[in-house]
Structure 1
């Protein structure tokens, strides 16, 4: 769960402390979870968080849990497919920057989804791409409050369409409690593919740089619009400290971000290249990741400030090699933190070395096709004395271990 959270919240910037910040998602919540009678539950440390920290905690854990649940469900529904989490805001900036606005307290901008799960499947000669829009929620309050969150999520996932059509979506709201964690899911049916073609066609498509677009969000169509009544606040007793408020539904018609049907190939470019950039940033290679972004995603137009303002030494990759047993090698970043008793907590985050080379050299199609095979190799060979090793089917690797090495 912490692995998924770390990949999904990888910062798209190159500030001097970006690498430390990227490790924080793993370190901050290492002590928040435990097991109660075979169920994942909040630890006593998580339960003692005060109001404003609890809001952040539920949001962050809600993202990690939603990604684990969503990917598990999608693998069951679509055998042979692998899904990559792409931040929806990063993606939408490629085509809707001038009109979409930043997410803030304005109700129109808050009605957008969190992530787009980009699914890829290859038969060996032919590739298919589909998307699933994901909204992540988390609460410490009650199961009833989680259901209110799902009502709001149903509006948010509908904000993104392709060719006027709603896309497949998943809404996951996790109720976080000391006695156990429960995730509630809404999964309206849909089975549209975004793109399909020969493997070499995909290679040519994602190898090219997508052009900037200039689209604007539109009001939800009349036949989809509804009058939303704000639900009453949850009445179920709150476990531990209460978090006030409830999930307000919009009273005005939500805005819809609609990618034209003829731009499905462009959208496929945007999503696959964003997934590649995220993996490289996770491994610490900012310079290579920059090549996968559009000028608008970098913020070069209309604002002068950029997401990838590269100045020495931050223009260079900070990735290093981590060798493990059985020939396993990964490229990534290594963070060490002192612990009581003279021990050291080590966190390594990176990408399988072979996949890293594909990404660094611009071979996104090869990365997508080979990631599942690399993940299986890591899962089979990683050993307990290597530490806690989490392997993503996107080829990303997270290793957490305690050592007595004080050097």
Structure 2
């Protein structure tokens, strides 16, 4: 039991996280992209369409990152709560983040790195561990960058696949005109404030257990993924790309670049708009492709990808907000509440009916953490032979709004409380690490004493 308790203590300890964004990195990524295109040319394949000008992120936005391992796992869990993997429902996918409870180590005066267990796992499950941990680190840095850039706004992270499925058919199983293009971002970051137009940033994250050279290749590939979504004008959608280098020896490093753009803007939620965020949405069937501007009175061919044209901005804002709500209710274990926010193509059926063993969660737990009443779901497993309990949920008053379909009210209240959430990483009454996000979601874990 003592060893398990030590693990929980380490999960709550903040460490420095190394970040890298520079002109030298841009040059290395451009060279990696050019080399990849040469290989494609030899195979008689077209060069990839990438963001035309990646830039370094300002030091004041990307620097001074301090995280606890538990915050990283919380962010990863929230990010995959709507995942559709295998035969299991996405409702319980977020528990998968807990397999990395012993993968990271650091300390108050140290940089975060892989622990002994994380290094051992890397020998057998390189791609999976680096990819999933890369999501957690990338999204933590993305939220820091955008929060510093837009200090009076909320930053919401929404899975891109689930969002895009509301308007486009991504696979042969989806009804509608199929996109047939495998490049797309993993996430969208919506930067919003009640009563104002929001901005959306496509995000692609990758990870590796190798070295910086592999990160250069990954960032070049990530650039093609974020280029696949245009919001508004041609080539004016801002985006973020990340590659987290998790070497077997030495501190991990998040390599990050961004593309600037004047668009990515969604409509002002005016009183005349017929799209209340509380209203249900249905699958749309947009024809795939990104329309380039006309040249010499001729309309050029569309490029492969997804285009949120000006007439679709209001629709996209609606889908983003309801998909975020679905992620929160899924994280709290409430499948019934989640169904109302997803279209059929987005996977609403995954939250109804039969669930395979160990893939379903139930919203039937209630805890007071850091002085805030939380409702959610729990999961019991063994950590170093000791039984531990993990709990995920949402602040009860905010969850009730989501449960009843009141997305507009949820957003108003979560914005009003954006600076009032506890910053502690340990709850002595709970006896374990706690991570609390500005969206009202909470992840906690403790040793079971009986």
Sort the TM-score into its range (normalised by shorter chain).
Answer: 0.7 to 0.9
CA contact (8 A) 1:81 1:120 kept: yes
Change (3 A) 1:58 1:338: closer
Equivalent position to 2:117, from 17, 38, 45:
45
Corresponding residue for 1:94?
166
Instruction: Structure 2: give runs of 5+ residues left out of the alignment.
Output: 1-71, 295-301
1-side partners of 2:437 and 2:305: how far apart? 32
CA deviation profile, 1:289-309 (whole Å, cap 9, x unmatched): 11111233237xxxxxx4344
How far did 1:57 drift?
Answer: 0.5
Q: Please, what is the CA RMSD of the aligned residues?
A: 3.2
Residue in 1 aligned with 2:396?
353
Which secondary structure does the structure 2 equivalent of 1:255 belong to?
A: coil
Match of 1:80 among 137, 152, 167: 152
Q: d(CA) in 2 for partners of 1:317 and 1:31?
A: 23
Aligned residues of 2:234 and 2:291 also touching (Cα < 8 A): no
Following superposition, the deviation at residue 165 of structure 1 comes to 3.0
Q: Work out whether residues 242 and 254 of structure 2, in 8 Å CA contact, stay in contact via their aligned partners in 1.
A: yes
How many residues were matched structurally?
359
Aligned to 1:127: 196
Q: TM-score, normalised by structure 1?
A: 0.79
* CA deviation after TM superposition for structure 1 residue 17, in Å: 7.0
CA distance in 1, matches of 2:106, 2:417: 30
Q: How far apart, CA to CA, are the structure 1 residues paired with 2:342 and 2:91?
A: 19
**Which residue of the partner structure matches residue 437 of structure 2?**
392
Query: How does 1:38-187 map onto structure 2 within 5 Å?
Result: 38-50=110-122, 53-97=125-169, 109-122=181-194, 126-166=195-235, 167-177=237-247, 178-187=249-258
Distance change (3 Å), C-alpha of 1:398 and 1:203: farther
1:335 has 2:379 as partner: yes
Residue 262 of structure 1: how far off its partner (Å): 0.6
Structure 1 residue 327: Cα displacement: 4.8
Work out whether 1:260 is the aligned partner of 2:313: no
Paired with 1:90 and 1:17, the residues of 2 have a C-alpha distance of: 14
**For residues 183 and 158 of structure 1, do their structure 2 counterparts lie closer, same or farther at Cα, with a shift above 3 Å needed?**
same
Please list the CA deviations of residues 275-322 of structure 1 after superposition, one character each: whole Å capped at 9, or x if unmatched: 0001000001111111111233237xxxxxx434435999x9821343
Q: Is the 8 A contact 1:111 1:254 kept in 2?
A: no
